[in-house]
Amino acid sequence: SVPVSEVVGVEEGRVHILPKKSVEDTDKDFTVFYVKRCRSGGSYGLLWTLGRTQFSCPSRVLRDQWIKDLRAAVKNYGPLRPRRLLVFINPFGGKKKGRKIYYSLVAPLFELAGISSHVIVTERANQARDHLLKKDLTGFDGVVCVGGDGMFSEILHGLIGRTQQEAGICENDPSAALQPCSLHIGIIPAGSTDCVCYATVGVIDPVTSALHIVIGDSQPLDVCSVHQALTHRYSVSLLGYGFYGDVLAESEKHRWMGPLRYDFSGTMVYLCNRSYAGVVQYIPADPVLSSPRDRTRCLSGCSVCSRSTDRLVRHPSDSGSLHKSHYGHFNSHSEDEWVTVEGRFRCVSLTCMSSSCPRSPLGLSPSAHLADGTGDLILVWNTNPLGFLKYLYRHTGAQDQFDLPFVEVHRVTAVRFSLPSSKEEGEYEEIDKQKTPDSFLCGLCCATPPPVSVWNCDGEILPVTEVFCRIHGQLLRLYARGIEDQARHNCSE
Ligand SMILES: Nc1ncnc2c1ncn2[C@@H]1O[C@H](COP(=O)(O)OP(=O)(O)OP(=O)(O)O)[C@@H](O)[C@H]1O
């Protein structure tokens, strides 16, 4: 049996769609296409492929009746199935295969499902963002991003910005209750880093992602807004200061190396052995609901995220927005709710999701949730080079990266980062000299270590130090359903 909600389309005759369309037009046959699950080998989630079953009827009349009824059932059971999509393809993302991936694997599935799409192949960076901010979006049910995390970030900024513009909300105001976006985003992975896709679907596979779009899956997603003076950015996967900021800044100098630049820059920055002084303040999330060390995983149908959805009540007079019940009182947080820690850090990271990827299958924070309105703040205090290497290495396997004496993790709803006063910074340097050998190999990439780092905001450099960050629960919706539990589904190998 196949749930009607997972039927992709019904066609007359004997039809094949992938890898190439072929139709044998017979009077008494019809073909049903549906979602079929397979184990994905190394990945955490399930691969979806296009299953097909052919039926033969005794007469043409009966065949037509079957097709009519099945199509009506599919329509009734899929209220969120998109009918019209705006598709942005980055032709230069990853291995530059975005266009080919879309036209050979994705477009045939959209056609089968009766989805019409308006396709824009971008000609410059930020074209997709500007289009979403300024052009008429009437009639579209969702936006599809064919590219990597950088392209997704463009679309995220465009869509959130457009929604706030229309609602008359100032995005630069950190206390503003942002409006959730009404259009869904679908991600077709075609970049060199596809972390958001991996963390929300569990595999990096264009057909799997296209099928999630076609059946109108809906996965809410928390978003972190990062404010500095009168500017703002949004992040969903990694906001990192120190090591991750330095690696990104270094990698920008070596773009010609392609994806290899991240390994090269990671090694260089590691060898530089830097740490940075800072004051971190955060508002802890309710510890009763969940904890970053409870060893749970946010999977499809996650109960922690559903409780958060329940808290977001729909306002009767504003059908387009899930409302502010747990943000209305953001401003009422008094100063003494903020917890303050200060010292020297190897890195300070904030993530709204596990941030898993093929290299780190459990991610930066394995028990983080996609849509519970919180983020995980990871503080890695200054330590010796071997200790830090151990911390980094643990991301590649199943060992607990938080079970180290110099690592802390907190579930939070807001974070502030600032520089300590110069007197205090001197004190940290004294402590630092006692703890770690004088610059491990520093001099490889810098003569004198810089006093401050930059922020890595989902792969984009923020050349600022002091920031205010706030998590906005379920600001976005993706055409996804979170990672499916392999044990719950019968799949072919
Ligand atoms: N036509 C274009 N020309 C140049 N840059 C573009 C174009 N379209 C989109 N971009 C930009 O390219 C950047 C990288 O795109 P994308 O994330 O798709 O690929 P990627 O290979 O994963 O890149 P990276 O690893 O650098 O993030 C994005 O920040 C996006 O703004």
CA distance from start to end of the chain: 18
Q: Is 237 in the pocket of ligand 1 (CB under 6 A)?
A: no
Report the DSSP pairing between strands 116-121 and 84-89. parallel
pLDDT in tens, the chain (493 residues): 999 999 999 999 999 999 889 999 889 999 999 999 987 776 778 999 999 999 999 999 999 999 999 999 999 888 899 999 999 999 998 889 999 999 999 999 999 999 999 999 999 999 999 999 999 999 999 999 999 999 999 999 999 999 999 999 999 999 999 999 999 999 999 998 899 999 999 999 999 999 999 999 999 999 999 999 888 999 999 999 999 999 999 998 888 887 788 889 999 999 999 999 999 999 999 888 899 999 999 999 999 999 887 666 444 444 444 444 444 445 556 778 899 999 999 999 999 999 998 889 899 999 999 999 999 999 999 999 999 999 999 999 989 999 999 999 999 999 999 999 864 545 555 444 444 444 455 545 555 778 899 999 999 999 889 999 999 999 999 999 999 987 777 666 5
Nearest atom (ligand 1) to Cα of 90: 8
Asked whether residue 186 is domain-assigned, the answer is yes
User: Which residue range is the domain that position 386 belongs to?
Assistant: 238-307+336-422+447-473
> pTM of this prediction?
0.90
The letter for the amino acid at 400 is: D
Q: Is 149 in the pocket of ligand 1 (CB under 6 A)?
A: yes
Cα 180 from Cα 222, distance rounded (Å): 10
Active-site positions?
A: 149
Q: What is the DSSP string of 272-295?
A: HT--EEEEEEEEE--TTT--TTS-
Ligand 1 centre to CA of 477 (Å) is 22
Asked whether residue 485 is domain-assigned, the answer is no
Residues 280 and 302 in one domain: yes
At a CB cut-off of 8 Å and minimum separation 6, what does 277 contact? 342, 343, 344, 345, 419, 420, 424, 425, 428, 429
Q: What pLDDT score was predicted for residue 480? A: 97
Cα 205 from Cα 197, distance rounded (Å): 9
Substitution candidate for ligand 1 out of 88, 92, 155 with most atoms within 8 A of CB? 92
Q: Is 45 helix (H, G, I), strand (E, B) or coil?
A: coil
Where does a domain end: 51, 77, 103? Answer: 77
Contact 269, 488 (CB under 8 A): no
Residues 123 and 247 in one domain: no
Cα 120 from Cα 457, distance rounded (Å): 26
Asked whether residue 481 is domain-assigned, the answer is no
Residue with tokens 């820059």: 265
Residues 275 and 210 in one domain: no
What is the CATH classification number for the domain harbouring 292? Answer: 2.60.200.40
The number of domains in the chain is 3
Residues 284 and 416 in one domain: yes
Where does a domain end: 166, 183, 216? Answer: 216
At a CB cut-off of 8 Å and minimum separation 6, what does 175 contact? 330, 331
Q: What pLDDT score was predicted for residue 321? A: 45
Residues 95 and 148 in one domain: yes
Angle between helix 149-167 and helix 127-134 axes, rounded to 10 deg: 20
Measuring CA to CA, which residue among 372, 371, 373, 328 is closest to residue 177? 328
| Minimum CA distance residue for ligand 1 atom 13 | 150
Asked whether residue 120 is domain-assigned, the answer is yes
Residues 388 and 464 in one domain: yes
Cα 475 from Cα 178, distance rounded (Å): 8
Where does a domain end: 216, 251, 274? Answer: 216
Q: Is 189 in the pocket of ligand 1 (CB under 6 A)?
A: no
Ligand 1 centre to CA of 118 (Å) is 20
At a CB cut-off of 8 Å and minimum separation 6, what does 206 contact? 101, 102, 105, 106, 188, 189, 190
Q: Is 186 in the pocket of ligand 1 (CB under 6 A)?
A: no
Q: Is 335 in the pocket of ligand 1 (CB under 6 A)?
A: no
Nearest atom (ligand 1) to Cα of 121: 1
Measuring CA to CA, which residue among 338, 353, 355, 354 is closest to residue 417? 338
The per-residue b/e assignment along 238-274, b for 16 or more CB within 10 angstroms, e otherwise, is bbbbbbbbbbbbbbeeeeeeeeebbeebbebbbbbbb
Cα 245 to chain centroid distance, Å, stands at 18
Asked whether residue 228 is domain-assigned, the answer is no
Residues 285 and 403 in one domain: yes
Q: Is 343 in the pocket of ligand 1 (CB under 6 A)?
A: no
Asked whether residue 259 is domain-assigned, the answer is yes
Residues 469 and 410 in one domain: yes
Structure tokens at 437: 């050998």
Residues 69 and 209 in one domain: no
Ligand 1 centre to CA of 148 (Å) is 7
Q: What share of the chain is helix, strand, coil (3-state, %, to 5)?
A: 30, 30, 40
Asked whether residue 429 is domain-assigned, the answer is no
Ligand 1 centre to CA of 360 (Å) is 22
Residues 47 and 99 in one domain: no
Nearest atom (ligand 1) to Cα of 94: 21
Nearest atom (ligand 1) to Cα of 91: 1
Residue 162 φ/ψ, nearest 5 degrees: -60, -45
Contact 145, 461 (CB under 8 A): no
Nearest atom (ligand 1) to Cα of 154: 31
Residues 29 and 57 in one domain: yes
Q: What is the ipTM of this complex?
A: 0.97
Q: Three-state SS string across 370-412, please?
A: CCCCCEEEEEEECCCHHHHHHHHHHCCCCCCCCCCCCEEEEEE
What is the CATH classification number for the domain harbouring 112? Answer: 3.40.50.10330
At a CB cut-off of 8 Å and minimum separation 6, what does 365 contact? 292, 351, 354, 355, 376, 378, 409
Q: Dihedral sign for Cα 457, 401, 369, 291, please.
A: negative
| Minimum CA distance residue for ligand 1 atom 10 | 125
Substitution candidate for ligand 1 out of 151, 155, 247, 254 with most atoms within 8 A of CB? 151
Residues 187 and 242 in one domain: no
Asked whether residue 267 is domain-assigned, the answer is yes
Farthest CA pair distance, the chain: 89
What is the CATH classification number for the domain harbouring 58? Answer: 2.30.29
Q: Is 474 helix (H, G, I), strand (E, B) or coil?
A: strand
Partnered with residue 303 across adjacent β-strands are none
Q: Is 150 in the pocket of ligand 1 (CB under 6 A)?
A: yes
